[in-house]
Structure 1
Amino acid sequence: MSYANLSGRTAVVTGAASGIGEAVALHLAAEGARVALLARRADRLDALVEKIRAGGGEALAVAADVTDDTSVEAARDRIHEAFGGVDLVVNNAGVMLPNPIEEGRLDEWQRMLDTNVTGVLRVIRAFGAGLVAAAGEGRTADLVNISSIGAHVPFPNYAVYGATKAAVTYLSQSLRTEFGPRDVRVTNIEPGLTETELKTHVDSAELSGQLDGMFEVIGGLAAADVADVVAYVASRPRHVNLRQIMVLPTRQA
């Protein structure tokens, strides 16, 4: 679906090297938005920029790690230099490392917290003031956080991942009290089963098999399905905030 009023927007998409982030970047660029792509894998970002430019879009690859303060700040400075102000931020970078809690994998817990929670906060710190400034100039300004159905529905062995996503969902809700009065919209999107690289992060053969079985029985969303939801919410009239959307495959309860 086409959303013409996205033309002229300037967007930042984290986790843009694959999956939902890549699909969001492609969709926004196709609608006429300038898109800054943030992720760690520079080669994947460069390939995506070439694809967007081949389609007539405008994009900038910025290799950055959301778990590193300096990296995020440098990315912000580079984007401001190239594109000026930003009026749409899609916080999508995330990792999913399920394992039984009793295994006590502190390194995995820390990685999920650093990426899924603190990484989101770093990006908000970097670009939040720009969103407020854009709204103050009368432009549409959006912060879109990608959470997960796991924020609400518990799955065995996914406790820490679900907790990080519950934090994102609550953060989004609370931020509306700070950003909303200044005309910055905050949207929290919670996808269900979606075909992305997240399932390749699962290092347990048993858990990986369980996940494959769920996809086989239920079927998964395509990353482009979630990207379409992002584009839809960002294209609503400036006074309309779709605050929270849970998007699931039809067979997922």
Structure 2
Amino acid sequence: MTSYENLTDRTALITGAASGMGEAIARLLGASGARVALLSRRADRLTTLADKIIADGGRALAVPADLTDSASVDAAAARVRAEFGPVDLVVNNAGVMLPNPITDGREDQWQRMIDTNLVGALRVIRTFVPDLVESARAGRTADLVDISSIGAHMVFPNYAVYSATKAALTHLSASLRSELGPQDVRVTNIEPGATQTELTDHLDSAEMVAQLDALFTTTGLLSAEEIADVVGYVTSRPRHVNLRQIVVLPTRQA
């Protein structure tokens, strides 16, 4: 696993940390010397991950939380600050992908994606941006990293609502740079292409699963660890350097 030594003693919060990219990001940051607060709804998996990071010599805290619930996010923030102090690195990674034709009218799925992918990220931003601003004011490096998707700007049939949530997150990241950049808080938006995660486990359509399998067979997949490496790289640059937008694709993906 790649390690970035100048991440030592930073305090990172990672949402969606129970699996996939979030888990890989947490492990990399932990191995690089950061204190890592792990947020997800799956308490058992968070505890297992925290135990692994600690066994490897890192510092980790499992914090079960539901990003669709403001009170849950507030409670998580209080616990993180009590254990680790203010956060100076936030990775908004939690997300859900539920593709279906728009004519299916799956309002339940639309709402779930909006609540998690966009409003959940906003709750995390609202809660932890004061920590980032204070860290930057004290002369420390401060980072907000939003994990979006190439769906934010590429068109895929049946992914209209998912892509809309990711487009909103990408534009939110760009807009926040105008607010936070002048306060020395870096904002980075990362848009992965085809990546091996558990997002496909949420699908309830055999047709959508088959379409993704066909795509992945053609393009190949990035690993979650490769996306984590990108996060480690951008957050370990000198504090006056902001890599604001990164698109990461398998070489064969157009």
TM-score surpassing 0.5?
yes
Tell me the equivalent position of 2:141: 140
Deviant stretches of 4+, over 2 Å: none
Tell me the equivalent position of 2:200: 199
Report % sequence identity: 69
After TM superposition, the structure 1 = structure 2 runs for residues 111-130 of structure 1, keeping only pairs within 5 Å, are: 111-130=112-131
SS of corresponding position for 2:217: helix
2: CA distance, partners of 1:75 / 1:157: 34
Tell me the equivalent position of 1:34: 35
How far off its partner does 1:2 sit?
2.6
Tell me the equivalent position of 1:225: 226
2: CA distance, partners of 1:73 / 1:180: 25
After TM superposition, the structure 1 = structure 2 runs for residues 1-253 of structure 1, keeping only pairs within 5 Å, are: 1-253=2-254
How far off its partner does 1:216 sit?
1.1
How far off its partner does 1:111 sit?
0.4
- Give the unaligned 5+ runs of structure 1: none
SS of corresponding position for 2:62: strand
2: CA distance, partners of 1:204 / 1:214: 16
Deviations 1:58-91 (A, max 9, x none): 0000000100000000000000000001100000
RMSD of aligned Cα (Å): 0.5
2: CA distance, partners of 1:14 / 1:133: 21
How far off its partner does 1:180 sit?
0.3
Aligned amino acid, residue 31 of structure 1:
S
Quick check: 224-233 or 201-210, which moved more?
201-210
How far off its partner does 1:202 sit?
1.4
How far off its partner does 1:20 sit?
0.3
Instruction: Using structure 2 for the length normalisation, give the TM-score.
Output: 0.99
Instruction: Using structure 1 for the length normalisation, give the TM-score.
Output: 0.99
1: CA distance, partners of 2:226 / 2:202: 21
Aligned amino acid, residue 120 of structure 1:
A
2: CA distance, partners of 1:2 / 1:28: 8
